[in-house]
Amino acid sequence: MSDLRNLSASELSAKLSSGELTSRRVCETFLSAIEQDSHNCMISVRKEEALAEADQVDRARSDGEKLPATAGVPLIVKDNIVIRGKLPTTCASKILANFASPYDAHVVEKINEAKMIVLGKANMDEFAMGSSNENSAFGPVHGPVDPERVPGGSSGGAAAAVALKLAPLALGSDTGGSIRQPAALCGVAGLKPTYGRVSRYGLVAFGSSLDQIGPLARRVKDAALLLSVVAGHDSRDSTSAEVQVPDYQGALDGGLKGLKIGLPAEYFPDSLDSRVREKVDAQVEKLESLGAETENISLPHTEYAIAAYYIIATAEASANLARFDGVRYGHRSSESGNLIEMYRTSRNEGFGAEVKRRIMLGTYVLSAGYYDAYYLKAQKVRTLITRDFTEAFKKVDLILTPTTPTPAWKIGSFEDDPVSMYLQDIFTVTANLSGVPAISIPAGTVDGLPVGVQLIGRHFDESTILKAAGRLEGEVQ
Amino acid sequence: MAVSREDVKKIAGLARLELGEKETERMTREMNDILAYVEKLNEVDTENVSPHSFLEGKQTPAMPDEISRFGNVAEALKNAPKAEGSFFIVPRVIE
């Protein structure tokens, strides 16, 4: 039974197609693992529905029906992506604890068309705000390697579940690094697509100009597979790009000869942990041995990225979370009062501390008298950060960096120090600010704890990222 | 100090949050720490830089002006804390 969990999604897909495995057997195996797991990766599980869907796929297959290659393959979905039906979409918040969505997200429609099976909703930082999965109303997620350490966030549950083989695939979301950073800390692969590559319809919005849904998997090939299922234009998301979806899985076959890879000085500061640096340097050497050429580059506005990000993201969050007012859905306070009092107490009771902090900051930077000094200024700096990438990509095809400055820290380390926690995102936020795609793949361990290496690519060039990451992964011990 | 406790109370009002005394104290401290950090942005020369990098070369896509019916009022009301008929019920708005 446990051998089944070691298989990649691609391998599972092949064995399901050939009839060697039934979808029921596959789903039962993973559901059983989920049931026995103690890391608190999941907020909810849809056992009966998943098994019913699995049976449907098995029946269709034995009836000789033509099925998509992914039919019967299970996955888990971060709990800020809506699935229609009784199973709540909570965003790991008390304010949405019982919210049963009346519609499916675009990516869920695509998963259903591909006949993949959602096993349940993954735990996360509340409303995707956090880098440690400690901000969940349903309790923290425990790291897969050391349960006293964080799995990273905000897609901590998804990353840990994939690392623990509770599912072969997961969908997470990334606003400032929330797929890539937990992927790095948990020792799995995680990709943030280009802004606009995957529809945000049905993703509960945090930072609308920054959010993207993306895949988490143990192997790059599987990330490519899931990306090709969910990518593509959706007219219900006005920021969704009308750009053709290339053959991401086919892209993995290419060689790396002549590929130019930039190493930005600003991501390798003297203060970077030398053990992390060593692991990332080893990846550079491997890429060179595979035929890629590396060169030193500069992304001069990197040091301003966190400041710009925390103004823009919180501003957008304060606007996006205004809808949670106890009127149409979500928690409404039982204390009676006038309308304003109802808003205030419902929101106060429903939101956690980090969410309140970000709403407050966002409200402040957008308020009269401060908009120009903060929000407008941050957006201008964002333009400069984006230009850094545009300039760099005139010389190189990919940019390589560490994903995070350190491996996983102990739960509770940043209790009273939000700024230090925010600085953990230092290598990941630039990709969200610029809209470029980026992947984190495992780069070995430091003191037994996983670290990741990040590859950043041109807008809509996920293929090159996947190709390089796939080759690199092949070489990792 | 960028924000005082009074400022924080005002902002909480705008954000429709209700922070207690201790929470206000803590929030004041934390907001000031974060705002002190973001002061960094003033080091950057942004003269003649557009804040709309995202929009360069893009048009907001238009949708055809066609009416479509949302058929599922019942399901839309299912999550309502208080509903009656096809209405959401709220405390009195106009005194």
Q: For residue range A241-256, list pLDDT tens digits in order.
A: 999 999 999 999 989 9
Instruction: Give the rounded distance of the alpha carbon of A283 from its chain centre.
Output: 22
Other residues' Cβ atoms within 10 Å of the Cβ of residue A474: 12
Mean pLDDT in chain A?
Answer: 96
User: Residue A323 carries which side chain, given as an amino acid letter?
Assistant: R
Number of domain units in chain B: 1
A238, A339, A367: residue with CB nearest B61 = A238
What are the helix and strand counts (H, E) for chain A? 17, 11
Give the fold, CATH level 3, of A2-251: Amidase signature (AS) enzymes (3.90.1300)
The phi-psi region of residue A141 (left if phi > 0; otherwise alpha if psi is between -120 and 50; otherwise beta) is beta
* Residue predicted with more confidence, B63 or A94: A94
For the ranges A99-113, A196-210, B49-63, which has the lowest average pLDDT?
B49-63
Nearest chain A CA: its distance from B18 CA (Å):
5
Other residues' Cβ atoms within 10 Å of the Cβ of residue A297: 20
Other residues' Cβ atoms within 10 Å of the Cβ of residue B46: 18
Q: Which residues in chain A touch residue B94, judged by CB atoms under 8 angstroms apart? A: none
A303, A310, A367: residue with CB nearest B34 = A310
Instruction: Identify the three-state secondary structure at position A457.
Output: strand
Q: How confident is the model at residue A2 (pLDDT cuts 50, 70, 90)?
A: low
pLDDT at A368: 86
pLDDT at A254: 85
Gap between the Cα atoms of A457 and A455, Å rounded: 7
Q: Which residues in chain A touch residue B35, judged by CB atoms under 8 angstroms apart? A: 361, 364
**Residue B72 pLDDT exceeds 90:** no
Percent of chain B with pLDDT over 70: 94
Domain membership of residue B67 (yes or no) is: no
pLDDT at B15: 97
Dihedral over Cα of A230, A292, A471, A253: its sign: positive
Per-residue burial over A248-267, b if 16 or more Cβ lie within 10 Å, else e, is: bbebbeeebeebebbbbebb
Which structural domain range is residue B17 located in? 5-43
**Residue A219 pLDDT exceeds 70:** yes
Domain membership of residue B66 (yes or no) is: no
Instruction: Identify the three-state secondary structure at position A308.
Output: helix
CATH of the domain at B37: 1.10.20
Mean pLDDT over A112-141 rounds to 97
pLDDT at B60: 80
Question: Closest residue of B to A322, CA-based?
Answer: B15
pLDDT at A477: 38
The phi-psi region of residue A99 (left if phi > 0; otherwise alpha if psi is between -120 and 50; otherwise beta) is beta
Domain membership of residue B34 (yes or no) is: yes
A339, A342, A360: residue with CB nearest B11 = A360
Percent of chain A with pLDDT over 90: 94
**Inter-chain touch B52–A383, beta carbons under 8 Å:** yes
pLDDT at A337: 85
Domain membership of residue B77 (yes or no) is: no
pLDDT at A420: 83
**Residue A62 pLDDT exceeds 50:** yes
**Inter-chain touch A238–B60, beta carbons under 8 Å:** yes
A331, A356, A386: residue with CB nearest B17 = A356
Domain membership of residue B93 (yes or no) is: no
Instruction: Give the residue among A404, A305, A57, A37 at the shortest CA–CA distance from B44.
Output: A305
Tokens of B7: 């400022």
Domain membership of residue B33 (yes or no) is: yes
Q: How confident is the model at residue A476 (pLDDT cuts 50, 70, 90)?
A: very low
Which of B9, B53, B92 has the highest number of chain A CBs within 10 A, making it the mutation to test binding with A? B53
pLDDT at B69: 86
Which of A201, A360, A367, A416 has the highest number of chain B CBs within 10 A, making it the mutation to test binding with B? A360
For the ranges A70-84, A165-179, A364-378, which has the lowest average pLDDT?
A364-378
Q: For residue range A184-202, list pLDDT tens digits in order.
A: 999 999 999 999 999 999 9
Q: Which residues of A are known catalytic residues? A: 78, 154, 178
Mean pLDDT over A96-108 rounds to 96
Q: How confident is the model at residue A79 (pLDDT cuts 50, 70, 90)?
A: very high
Name every residue whose Cβ is closer than 8 Å to that of residue A373 and which is 6 or more positions away in sequence: none
Residue pairs between chains A and B whose CB atoms are closer than 8 Å: 147
Other residues' Cβ atoms within 10 Å of the Cβ of residue B59: 6
Tell me: ipTM over 0.90.
yes
Nearest chain A CA: its distance from B93 CA (Å):
6
* Residue predicted with more confidence, B33 or B76: B33
**Residue B58 pLDDT exceeds 80:** no
- Dihedral angle computed from the Cα positions of residues A42, A321, A353 and A146, in that order, rounded to the nearest 10 degrees: 30
Instruction: Give the residue among A329, A348, A418, A331 at the shortest CA–CA distance from A125.
Output: A418
Instruction: Identify the three-state secondary structure at position A4.
Output: helix
Q: Can you tell me which residue has the tokens 């060697």?
A: A20
Gap between the Cα atoms of A418 and A414, Å rounded: 7
**Inter-chain touch B12–A360, beta carbons under 8 Å:** yes
User: Residue A312 carries which side chain, given as an amino acid letter?
Assistant: I
Domain membership of residue B35 (yes or no) is: yes
The DSSP string of A93-152 is -GGGTT---SS--HHHHHHHHTT-EEEEEE--SGGG--SSS---TT-PPPPSS-TTB---
Q: Which residues in chain A touch residue B37, judged by CB atoms under 8 angstroms apart? A: 306-307, 310, 419, 422
CA count, 13 A, side-chain hemisphere, A276: 23
**Inter-chain touch A419–B79, beta carbons under 8 Å:** no
pLDDT at A331: 96
Name every residue whose Cβ is closer than 8 Å to that of residue A210 and which is 6 or more positions away in sequence: A175, A176, A195, A309, A312, A313, A316, A432, A433
Domain membership of residue B69 (yes or no) is: no
Per-residue burial over A331-367, b if 16 or more Cβ lie within 10 Å, else e, is: bbbeeeeebeebbbbbbbbbbbebbbbbbbbbbbbbb
**Residue A233 pLDDT exceeds 50:** yes
pLDDT at A418: 81
Mean pLDDT over A388-396 rounds to 97
User: Residue A87 carries which side chain, given as an amino acid letter?
Assistant: L
Whether the CB-CB separation of A126 and A136 falls below 8 Å is answered with: yes
Q: For residue range A404-453, list pLDDT tens digits in order.
A: 999 999 999 988 788 888 888 999 999 999 999 999 999 999 999 999 99
Gap between the Cα atoms of A297 and A323, Å rounded: 43
B18, B52, B90: residue with CB nearest A345 = B18
Q: Which value, in Å, is the radius of gyration of the alpha carbons in chain B? A: 23
Which of B5, B41, B93 has the highest number of chain A CBs within 10 A, making it the mutation to test binding with A? B41
